[in-house]
Amino acid sequence: MHIFAIIASILLLISLFTFVYYCIKGGNLIIGLFITAVFWLLLGTVYTVWNAASSGQVNSFTDGWNLVVGNMNTVFSDGPIGYGTTTTIIIFASWFGRVIVDTGIAKALIRKVVELSGNKQLITVLFVSIVSALIFTSVFGPGSVMAIGAIILPILLSIGVDKKIAVGSFLMSVAAGMYVNNGYISQFSGHSLFIELWTKPGFEADFLKFTWIAFLIHVVIMVAFIVFNYQFAKNKTKAWAMSEDEQEKELSNWTFVVPFIPIVLALVVALINIFRGSEAKQLTAFAPIFLFVVGIFFGLLLTGNLKSYKKAVDATQKTLFNGISDVALLIGMLLVMNMFSTAANKLAAPIFTDALGSSLDWITKNPIIIVIIFMVLAPLALFRGPFMIWGSGIALASVLFPIIGSSTPLLLVLFYVQPVAIVAQACPTQSWGMWALSYSKYEPNIYIKTNLPWGWIICAANMLLAYFILM
């Protein structure tokens, strides 16, 4: 049986490397995940049936049928259904993002920031980037990112900001907000690989501390990126003025608080609990969906979209439709990814465990070593590579899971930061990165060379931070 496990493990690894290569070459992630999940399901089912038959657990056609169909149901039904809460949070987060964009709040806020910064180009870029980072602590969804980018990039480019700074700073600001964004966090908290962590006493408080410090580190390095590249930029004095066709109805300054409502409400409760101490009775935190509902309501109310029944219905339906459309493919990818990770955890993991035995116990005994390896090789997250969990990295994470286990945050430490620090701000295959490069006619190779070193620094710093706070 040990030889059978070794052979099966080799076949699994071959399929894993094939999947990684497929992703790096730009293959469709949903199709790649589905095909790999089916292969792992078939191989894992053969292995479990063989094991069960050898041990006398399969004595009839019914036993074999129930085992095979049970595996299929686990992968194709239990996997996606288990991701239902996360899917709902993502939809409401994207809906909230669309309210911020479609009602004109984002545009009015960004233009106000530009006006306050005057004709000082560097100050304008810094203010816009910091405000953008704060916006993305709550706003979620590729469509919302691109819509806000369509406001920010024309402004920055029109005042003569170099493409390296304009595109680079915008994408860095998007990434910065992701650390604490409930839409992003829910992808981990609801995933079968990590869900157990959120039930551990004190973990959420530690995780909150980590995400906010990581956000601040990211913003500080983003500021350093802007200042450093500005020293070598041209056209530093060109002024910007809003053209006639850009004049729009003024929104109340009260609307500027809307993008920050969900994150502020969540943070207030968390800070109260921290100051009261772990010994005191803790306040129940607001559910993410409730926070987004409050934000959506005030976004529509303060922009006059609830003045009449018809206007309320139209605005609600439009923003909801746009919000769901923005994340439809993302949700599809995550549901199929959960099929794959379920097949990996339930069927492939026992094969690797039987084949490897205790040969990889050094990982759990010396976790800092593997953290350092991931820090050094962080660019392997580019192009949906093996360190990008929302890409081919899900296969690596699923292989490591039975070795590391669900009771330690190590797996989360290894895979939480790269999608933000490397992919979201330095990879041209990321949807909003691809859009920004196309919109600004910015060369992908220059973009990678410019942003990747800074992203690498952020990744290393925040992975170490995660290790020391969460482990």
Percentage of the chain with pLDDT > 70? 92
Distance, in Å, from the CA atom of 400 to the CA atom of 349, rounded to the nearest integer, reads: 9
Which tokens sit at 468? 């020391």
The per-residue pLDDT for range 12-52, each reduced to its tens digit, is: 888 877 887 787 777 787 888 888 889 888 888 888 888 77
Taking residue 423's Cβ as centre, other Cβ atoms within 10 Å add up to 26
Gyration radius from the chain CA atoms:
24
Which tokens sit at 285? 């935190």
pLDDT at 116: 74
Is the pLDDT at 465 greater than 90? The verdict is yes
Is the pLDDT at 60 greater than 60? The verdict is yes
Of the candidates 374, 392, 377, 384, the residue with the CA atom closest to the CA atom of residue 423: 384
Type of residue at 397: A
pLDDT-derived band at 328 (thresholds 50, 70, 90) equals confident
Is the pLDDT at 153 greater than 50? The verdict is yes
Q: ∠ at Cα 420 (417, 422), nearest 5°? A: 90
| DSSP result, 44-98 | HHHHHHHHHHHTT---SHHHHHHHHHHHHHIIIIIHHHTTHHHHHHHHHHHHHHH
- CA dihedral 388→390→396→397, nearest 10 degrees, is 110
pLDDT-derived band at 57 (thresholds 50, 70, 90) equals confident
Which tokens sit at 382? 């580019």
The per-residue pLDDT for range 234-259, each reduced to its tens digit, is: 655 444 444 444 445 577 788 888 88
Q: Domain boundaries in the chain?
A: 2-80, 81-470
Greatest extent of the chain over all pairs of C-alpha atoms, in Å: 82
> Strand, coil or helix: what is 314?
helix
Percentage of the chain with pLDDT > 90? 14
Distance, in Å, from the CA atom of 471 to the CA atom of 467, rounded to the nearest integer, reads: 5
DSSP secondary structure letter of residue 56? T
Which tokens sit at 406? 């669900």
Please answer whether residues 33 and 79 qualify as being in contact, where contact means their C-beta atoms are separated by less than 8 angstroms. no
Q: ∠ at Cα 360 (369, 191), nearest 5°? A: 80
Distance, in Å, from the CA atom of 172 to the CA atom of 182, rounded to the nearest integer, reads: 18
Mean per-residue pLDDT of the chain: 82
Of the candidates 235, 224, 232, 292, the residue with the CA atom closest to the CA atom of residue 262: 292
Please answer whether residues 451 and 436 qualify as being in contact, where contact means their C-beta atoms are separated by less than 8 angstroms. no
The per-residue pLDDT for range 73-128, each reduced to its tens digit, is: 888 888 788 777 778 888 888 888 888 888 888 888 878 877 776 667 888 889 88
Distance, in Å, from the CA atom of 251 to the CA atom of 101, rounded to the nearest integer, reads: 13
Q: ∠ at Cα 431 (335, 121), nearest 5°? A: 140
The per-residue pLDDT for range 251-293, each reduced to its tens digit, is: 778 888 888 888 888 888 877 877 776 666 777 878 888 888 9
The per-residue pLDDT for range 190-200, each reduced to its tens digit, is: 777 788 888 88
Q: What are phi and psi of 76, to 5 degrees?
A: -90, -15
DSSP secondary structure letter of residue 199? G
For the segment 220-234, the average pLDDT, to the nearest whole number, is 86
Half-sphere exposure of 161 (CA within 13 A, CB side): 31
pLDDT at 211: 92
Is the pLDDT at 216 greater than 60? The verdict is yes
DSSP secondary structure letter of residue 255? G
Q: Which regions of 83-242 does DSSP assign to beta strands (E)?
A: none
- Which has the minimum average pLDDT: 42-56, 204-218, 224-238, 411-425? 224-238
pLDDT at 430: 80
- Which has the minimum average pLDDT: 236-250, 305-319, 371-385, 386-400? 236-250
- Which has the minimum average pLDDT: 155-169, 173-187, 193-207, 269-283? 269-283
Half-sphere exposure of 363 (CA within 13 A, CB side): 19
Distance, in Å, from the CA atom of 255 to the CA atom of 112, rounded to the nearest integer, reads: 12
Of the candidates 391, 344, 377, the residue with the CA atom closest to the CA atom of residue 22: 391
Type of residue at 418: Q
pLDDT at 28: 80
For the segment 204-220, the average pLDDT, to the nearest whole number, is 91
